[in-house]
Amino acid sequence: MRLLIIGIGGVGQAAAMLIKEGEKHGGQWIDTMVLADYDYERAKKVAALADDHRFVAAQVDASDKAAILALVEKHNINFILNTVAPVFNEPIFDAAYEAGVGYMDCAMTLSQRHPEKPYEQTYVKLGDYQFARQEDWKKKNILAIVGSGVEPGVSDVFARFAEKHLFDEIDEIGVRDGDNYQIPGQEVAFGFSIWTTIEECLNPPIVWEKDRGWFTTECFSEPENFFFPGGIGNVEVVNIEHEEVILIPQYVKCKRCTFKYGVSREFRIMLKNLEALGLDRIDKKIKVGDSEISPRDFIGLVAPSPLDLATEMVGKGCAGTWVTGKKDGLFRSVYLYQLADNQECVKKYGTSSVVTQTAIGPVIMLDLIAHGVWKGVGVLGPEFFNPDPFVLKMKEYGFPAALYEKDSEYDEQYQRDEIFNEMFSS
């Protein structure tokens, strides 16, 4: 595979390092990897960390389709991994289509809220721009996998795995994300892309129900306490706009789909204050020195950088999919998850656990595509594909999947059966 990664921030760096590390165990599958970023010095720094002649640094403006096409032609690229903020998705997605090469992103094209009923009805949904071009990609016989990070991405694979192996019928698929992260000296701080965090937290959350379709709610609605394994414990999670709710119902049969994330009360207040002051906006410009930038970009410049804070953050993050339904006629409740320790990720990959978890999804998917295991054409989400080889690869890459069986009728019956099985076998 001749891969172009656009965006060598935390996720881009983590993807490059994960591929390099993964090849030690599974053999080389990258012929060339072009690490492209607007900040050329940043790209060169990561290429130097890789210390491999196949890893080449390049400068690119992610909003410039012509510049992306020129890089594809220069390096004979056959696949693009997009790890920049989703505001740049459209030109990168379109460039991949025009060049006739594969495409993958970690988050889909942006939504637009309903002009009259933003907290009741959808308008332009996440990924609508991409799925509207489904037939064009099919006719050209090329593949785009959208939403391939950890959430969306790994969480979608977990949903498909649960449907295939763990349930006869599914009531709700609820992606749940929580952590016990702390940054010494920082009461409120961004642990991930500032631009993207503001976007997804302040947009109306989206929910899907079989009999109702997609609809929106108030920001941070339906709070619930959810237990996260790995020593994290109970975390209050709330509704957030996220791609899984768009993707999962397309290929996994269920009655309801939600996404909830552990956003602390202090962080919610800070975000709502930014919104009240208009500092979340991207549709207006303010003059800073000789340049004009949006208020949100200004926040991104002055707030402590997630990349800089990564080495100080301690704790674990848990990303996963909670599935409820029936198995063998009994109610079952299962949480499939992936756990990552921040300091371990910093030590091994030089990036935070948040961005390393985000990078593991696309890296494994690219590995499976390069080896001909995952195949397809058109614009697809991760839940379209066979989940089994992906889940097996997670362990190979050092990010194993885990399953937490919650209390249920099925679990009680299973425990009773185990006791009798032991008695009869002795």
Read off φ and ψ for residue 188, nearest 5 degrees: -135, 125
| Residues 46, 360, 254: CA angle, nearest 5 degrees | 150
The DSSP 8-state label assigned to residue 33 in this structure reads E
pLDDT tens-place values along the chain, 426 residues long: 999 999 999 899 999 999 998 888 778 999 999 999 999 999 999 999 988 999 999 999 999 999 999 999 999 999 999 999 999 999 999 999 999 999 999 999 999 999 999 999 999 999 999 999 999 999 999 999 999 999 999 999 999 999 999 999 999 999 999 999 988 877 777 877 888 899 999 999 999 999 999 999 999 999 999 999 999 999 999 999 999 999 999 999 999 999 999 998 999 999 999 999 999 998 888 887 888 889 998 898 888 888 788 888 899 999 999 999 999 999 999 999 999 999 999 998 888 999 999 999 999 999 999 999 999 999 999 999 999 999 999 999 999 999 999 999 999 998 887 766 665 565
CA atoms within 13 A on the CB side of 119: 7
The CATH superfamily holding the domain 2-115+126-148+353-396 is: NAD(P)-binding Rossmann-like Domain (3.40.50.720)
Residue 217: which of 246, 183, 258 has the closest Cα?
258
Q: What separation, in Å, do the N-terminal and C-terminal C-alpha atoms of the chain show?
A: 54
**pLDDT at residue number 308:** 80
pTM: 0.93
Q: DSSP string of 284-344?
A: S-EEETTEEE-HHHHHHHHSPPHHHHTTT-BSEEEEEEEEEEEETTEEEEEEEEEEEEHHH
User: 48: Cβ–Cβ under 8 A, 6 or more apart, which residues?
Assistant: none
**pLDDT at residue number 260:** 97
Which amino acid belongs to residue 238?
V
Euclidean distance between CA atoms 11 and 361, whole angstroms: 11
**pLDDT at residue number 426:** 52
**pLDDT at residue number 419:** 66
Euclidean distance between CA atoms 376 and 391, whole angstroms: 19
As a dihedral over the C-alpha atoms of residue 164, residue 242, residue 358, residue 362, rounded to 10 degrees, the angle is 60
**pLDDT at residue number 59:** 97
**CATH 3.40.630.150 for domain 150-347+402-409:** no
Residue 88 buriedness (CB in 10 A; 0-12 / 13-18 / 19+): buried
Cα→Cα distances 336→157, 162, 227, Å = 10, 8, 12
Instruction: Report whether the peptide linkage leading into residue 400 is cis, meaning its omega lies within 30 degrees of zero.
Output: no
Domains of the chain, residue spans: 2-115+126-148+353-396, 150-347+402-409
